[in-house]
Amino acid sequence: MSPTDRYRRPADLPPRIPLFPLRGAILLPRATLPLNVFEPRYLQMLDDVMSGDRLIGIVQPASGDGHDDEESPEGDSIHLRGVGCVGRVTSYQELDDARLMITLTGVSRYDIIDEALTDLPYRMASVSYDRFATDLSEGLGEDQVDRANLLRVLRSYLDANKLEADWSAIQRASSEFLINALCVMCPYGPEEKQALLEAEDLRCRADVLVALAEMELASSGGSGSTLQ
């Protein structure tokens, strides 16, 4: 049983979660996001969630608020994107310098309903998972993905950027895992990341990922007939 299998329906998830605003970072169902945690507010958050349900909501700060150069701006007045993804802490390591290395495994996307007023140093929000109930069904929509085209574009992207990858592992990975993991790891900006997060379903997310890669290849002169 995987760490996220316990969540079968939106009602299995808490209606109020702690938020970890992080610009340029997203999380997606069953993908993983490693985090190096050192700020006191988030160290306390981890202390609190590790004694409870171990769930944290990753969400991007909104753009154009004067804090676009800050990865995780402080203050409750900083506007947040309306959609994020909740993840469960599945790896936790304490380091000698008081930092924590953790891994979040994505469970489900959510809509922020409103923020809760608390005395905590981190932000809390009431959220709804209803619009994303299908996130809890592993592999849903894989049969709609043009996997052959995705792999062709991925190979072209890797070759153009002189990047190496374990191609045998890529071939073995499920389409859902491959797409969601690539979206989390890809070096795109906040707007592109949010578009990937908010894609309606797995096929749409794959299409957005392919389109972004093709645009980057075209702008660098690396595209060709292999991407068609």
Residues in CB range of 36: below 8 A, 6 or more apart: 99, 100, 101
Reported confidence tier of residue 225, pLDDT bands at 50, 70, 90: very low
Position 228 scores a pLDDT of 29
**Is pLDDT at 191 greater than 60 in this prediction?**
yes
H-type alpha helices, the chain: 40-50, 147-160, 167-172, 175-185, 190-198, 202-219
Q: Are 181 and 157 within one domain?
A: yes
Position 74 scores a pLDDT of 75
Q: Are 109 and 185 within one domain?
A: no
Q: Are 117 and 41 within one domain?
A: yes
Output the CA torsion 209→210→211→215 (10° steps). 110
Q: Are 117 and 170 within one domain?
A: no
pLDDT tens column, 143-181: 999 999 999 999 998 888 888 889 999 999 999 999 999
The residue out of 136, 154, 178 marking a domain boundary is 136
Is 22:72 a contact under the CB 8 Å cutoff? Answer: yes
**Is pLDDT at 207 greater than 90 in this prediction?**
yes
Number of domains present in the structure of the chain: 2
Burial of 117-147, coded b for 16+ CB within 10 Å and e otherwise, reads eeeeebbbbebebeebeebbeeeebbeebee
Position 63 scores a pLDDT of 82
Q: Are 32 and 118 within one domain?
A: yes
The residue out of 136, 161, 179 marking a domain boundary is 136
The residue out of 70, 104, 136 marking a domain boundary is 136
Reported confidence tier of residue 103, pLDDT bands at 50, 70, 90: very high
- Determine the 3-state secondary structure of 42 from DSSP: helix
Q: Are 125 and 149 within one domain?
A: no
* DSSP for residue 61: B
Q: Are 87 and 148 within one domain?
A: no
- Report the relative pairing of strands 55-59 and 32-37 from DSSP bridges: unpaired
Q: Are 127 and 203 within one domain?
A: no
Has residue 3 been placed in a domain?
no
Position 65 scores a pLDDT of 64
Q: Are 180 and 110 within one domain?
A: no
Bridge partners (DSSP) listed for residue 103: 34, 91
CA distances from 186 to 35, 61, 94, 127 (A): 15, 18, 27, 26
Q: Are 129 and 25 within one domain?
A: yes
- Residue 189 lies in domain: 142-223
CATH number assigned to the domain comprising residue 48: 2.30.130.40
